[in-house]
Amino acid sequence: MTASLELSLLVVLTIAVVLLSFVVAAMLARLIRLEGRIAGGGADIFSELVGKVIPAELRAASSGLSRVLFLAEDCLSCRQLVQRFANEPPREPTALLWRGDGIPGPVETETLKIIRKAGHAFDSLGLRITPVEVWVDSAGVISIARPYELPRGISATPLVRKVASRR
Amino acid sequence: MLASAFAEAGLAYLTSSLLLSAVHHIRYWTQMSATLTAHGLWHERVRVPVQITLTCGEAIVASLALWALLASDVRLMQVTFVVALPLAAAFLAYVSVLERSGVHVPCGCYFIGRPELYDRPNHVPALALVLVSGVGLMATCFLNASTPEGLPMYLAGLRTAVILALGVSATLLVQVLGVLKMGPLSRNGIASPTLSITSV
């Protein structure tokens, strides 16, 4: 009786271990794949944006500017960047799309057009990472999309943070 | 029987997690040194002794756990868990201190994944060690048989091997879950060291 019970338990345990191994292997493979995408610099992430058309209302609000920055309130680098813009407006005409409630930085200047609470634009492009710089042509089609190169003195967020969304 | 299963599974987990950690620490000795330096909690003079003590401690407790598992000796199991529990608790306390200090470096608790991609300590492996040691210790209090009854020798060996495999799988599962918890990988699947990710 005891032996048969032990044997049954052993069989069940073996099956459980095999199944668990499959689960672990699948998760491990997924982790390796995701880390590979991160380590790859995220080029694929941005190339997916190229060719997309920015929303019409965004195009109108940005007054046809060809350079668009996507910044978010819950991104440390973005907040620092906006504060920097208060003292040093960008040289090139730029539309700044801000995701979040309050923008910590600048008033609009000749070269900087700010569009607040632009969460819908982020959503429509499937954009979840910031800061991102996008160039659009006259038809509103994205021709270049890349991570915004932070100027000296602004610390890049050391690594990724996950925060609740706020529009 | 249930107590025996818990105790043996706990020993298998201790064996695999500590042995793999020790091997990883030896293999990536320089990286471990850099991680401890980045933590900023150790004086330069004690860093190497800490490294040696930690690695040796892991290897010793892992060996003890393996010995107890293979010998099915209840007293040895109790000794193993009694030794492992305070060490695991100390490890958990260390990670908690790291978390509170707000450092943007990983805790060095993972032997999978790329540590350079993560920026904060995580208490999952330490917590798992504490739980396993505690539950294992409690389970040994209900044990009185020193060997599993009723199974022929070859099946008893197979049983031990399966339990060890369970320990390795559980260790890897804890590691993967912990690494996924550290970053936004699980939700977004994309990231870059200079970018922030917002959840939609």
The secondary structure of chain A, three-state, reads CHHHHHHHHHHHHHHHHHHHHHHHHHHHHHHHHHHHHHHCCCHHHHHCCCCCECCHHHHHHCCCCCEEEEEECCCHHHHHHHHHHHHCCCCCCEEEEEECCCCCCCCCECCEEEECCCHHHHHHHCCCEECEEEEECCCCEEEEEEECCCCCCCCCCCCCCEECCCC
B193 inside domain: no
* Tens digits of residue pLDDT in B114-147: 766 676 777 888 999 999 999 999 988 887 654 5
- Tell which CATH classification among 1.10.390.10, 3.40.50.300, 3.40.50.2020, 3.40.30.10 matches the domain A44-147: 3.40.30.10
B26 inside domain: yes
Q: Which residues of B touch A37 (CB under 8 A)?
A: 189-190
B190 inside domain: no
Inform me whether the C-beta atom of residue A39 falls under 8 Å from chain B C-beta atoms: yes
B91 inside domain: yes
B118 inside domain: yes
Q: Which residues of A touch B150 (CB under 8 A)?
A: 2-6
* Tens digits of residue pLDDT in B27-73: 888 878 878 887 878 887 888 899 999 999 999 999 999 999 988 88
Inform me whether the C-beta atom of residue B200 falls under 8 Å from chain A C-beta atoms: yes
A147 closest CB neighbour out of B159, B195, B200 = B195
CB contact under 8 A, B112 and A20: no
CB contact under 8 A, B192 and A77: no
B195 inside domain: no
Contact A94, A65 (CB under 8 A): yes
B104 inside domain: yes
CB contact under 8 A, B193 and A159: yes
Whether the complex's predicted ipTM is more than 0.90 is answered with: no
Q: Where are the domains of chain A?
A: 2-40, 44-147
Inform me whether the C-beta atom of residue B75 falls under 8 Å from chain A C-beta atoms: no
pTM over 0.95: no
B138 inside domain: yes
- The total of structural domains in chain B comes to 1
Domain coverage including residue B153: 2-182
